[in-house]
Structure 1
């Protein structure tokens, strides 16, 4: 069984890496082949220079991702069948031979640290080379590393208790530890949804109440019309880090709030902002957030049940390069290798997300003017340098939002009606 798992894992790792690289190269080729002509639906609203900029920006990001994909695959192979995880485990066994839970937490944190250090140069390059070159980055290196340190501290303070709880349950809660862990995990995620807007997000950005009274009145009227109650309307200082614009809902239950990037408010007029908000309200009205939470709980339930079985199989460890079985190693192996086994399901998840976006657009068209949503989207496509011509197959795997041309065409049909 162990050798069969090794063969299956290596085969899938090679296959999925090859597919990801092929999709990326196909995406770049498709974008560049359409670089010199603006799609007819956008010919009057987006200039050829802006279209070329979007094509080059998307291509540059994808080329960076191609190299990152190859490096991540090599790292995963080195950690598993290459014996890297077992080496980390051996080191900590020498340091802490008697403390299983603490040793397990340190082994997992060490492996995650190695992975983060490998990813760091790519993230830095995207920020200070790619985004900088195309005029989007507003961060300084000191701000970048300060953010990284704050993210690490917050992640540790929130994640460490959950990790220790998981290892404690795995060690002492009997055969159904995975069910108890699922309950803890679900409660933790609900707690994070509730406290994120008020306690966590302000650690990284400033949130100010919306000051424009005219816009505030329009938005509050729309919220009342759609039956949405929020804790408030806030403006986030997104411009301190990037010139990209966005708007979103955050929070859960009584902590829900509406957040606008300051960059978004600078680019869109009142009618367009109202239409964008109506789209976001469509997600609320169709219960997309609740459905995604329910899906996450279902997937985690199945995943932890599978892990509960795999943790008892010696071939699971041996087939992935680990010679000494342990609860923490089962958890770490599962976290690292499961994305390889699930990669081919990505089009299903992306397709479901795009379906939600179409539903939210339809809701916006009924409760605001679809023409203004089209105008807002066109501005965002242009100002964010989003490609108008993604490769359809690449989009099916990676894009949570519909391609621009298809989305605009559907909204134009609502306008015509």
Structure 2
């Protein structure tokens, strides 16, 4: 069998991945160090600054408390927070998030822009890269505000807030994947796949797999990345097959069908047990947060004087990081097994191991996948098995036997 990479290609891939492996090993400790700095040194000055900024802004915009429309908003915010002071809470939360983002700016620029360009994996212009990063920071800011006003506001006023917030949030988590087709369009433009043989073959394959879908769309990621990508977004009436424009350029039709068949394998996974477990875990996490908020108020950590004081926000970041870091190896192990099952499903659906093998090899070459990453990297959180393992699991193609009497293409020439 032809090797996946030439020695030169393999050396380049190893050089590309080495900084990423170092980042994977070091970044958790950097994040913990940043949180330790905030918790140990910066909480009190950040909170003082936030109170000062909120007071200054409140004086300058005092007319908003009496204006016809804005006064209703201000009263609603006071009621949500339980008392005045939500402005300082918002400033504090945004200041903490901004500080964490600024600490990681050098690493973000190097790993997501410089390194990707150095090895030909990125098509980002400096402007588009900056705009996308700014877009991500803005979305994160809105999510933080929702957390502050929702979780902290509720926790200040309702004793069993973790149930009041947790149960509807868990139910929303169960069906949130229905919104995936719309979330994926925040960064990249999508257009329907044009009518033609490729679309017809995908439609026929999905009929064979008994998978209804809404549309096949092309996501124009080539403006930022040169990687191959395909995925299913949404569920039920919103299920959409998404192919990026790079995969359409790089793969032959049979190889493209193999990729779609692999993603179809994920549709038939038993997702509900995982979703239910995630929802239960969310409620449990909120309960632990409630205990942590009460403990911090009792002990007076960071100068807190009551339950759900915004100064405990970095503690929640530390708790969340610990939970996800410790659970990542287990969730990644389940993910790798799901990928193996999806590979087996695709091979059974297409009955074309050669096309599936070619698809994986091309994906490995285009995406510069390390065929044999360090074992600790895989165990720490790889969502997919190494590409060498996936290729080794493909059964050999049965050899075609020559018809009786021999074949001019298989017999040796006479001398």
TM-score (norm 1): 0.80
1:23 maps to none
Bigger Rg, structure 1 or 2: 2
SS of corresponding position for 1:412? coil
Are the counterparts in 2 of residues 231 and 255 from structure 1 also a CA contact under 8 Å? yes
Question: If each structure's helix is expressed as a fraction of its own residues, which one has the higher value?
Answer: 1
For residues 167-199 of structure 1, the C-alpha deviation after alignment (integer angstroms, 9 at most, x for no partner) is 22111122x10111113433554675333423x
How many Å separate the matches in 2 of 1:331 and 1:79? 10
RMSD in angstroms over aligned alpha carbons? 2.6
For residue 378 of structure 2, the aligned residue among 374, 395, 398 is 395
For residue 72 of structure 1, the aligned residue among 27, 31, 36 is 31
Structure 1 unpaired stretches of 5+: 1-40
Q: How does 1:87-236 map to 2 (within 5 A)?
A: 87-96=45-54, 99-157=84-142, 160-174=145-159, 176-186=160-170, 189=173, 193-198=177-182, 200-211=183-194, 213-236=196-219
For residues 91-124 of structure 1, the C-alpha deviation after alignment (integer angstroms, 9 at most, x for no partner) is 3244558634343233222211111111222111
For residues 354-374 of structure 1, the C-alpha deviation after alignment (integer angstroms, 9 at most, x for no partner) is 111111111111101233222
Aligned residues: 369
1:309 maps to 291
For residue 260 of structure 1, the aligned residue among 227, 243, 250 is 243
Q: Which region of structure 1 is more displaced relative to structure 2, 252-261 or 155-164?
A: 155-164
Ranked by relative contact order (alpha carbons within 8 Å, sequence separation 6 or more), the top structure is 1
1:376 maps to 359
For residues 289-315 of structure 1, the C-alpha deviation after alignment (integer angstroms, 9 at most, x for no partner) is x44433321221111111122221138
Are the counterparts in 2 of residues 169 and 177 from structure 1 also a CA contact under 8 Å? yes
SS of corresponding position for 2:18? helix
How many Å separate the matches in 1 of 2:372 and 2:238? 38
Are the counterparts in 2 of residues 68 and 119 from structure 1 also a CA contact under 8 Å? no
How many Å separate the matches in 2 of 1:155 and 1:346? 21
Q: Which region of structure 1 is more displaced relative to structure 2, 332-341 or 220-229?
A: 332-341
1:36 maps to none
Q: Which region of structure 1 is more displaced relative to structure 2, 98-107 or 141-150?
A: 98-107
2:8 maps to 49
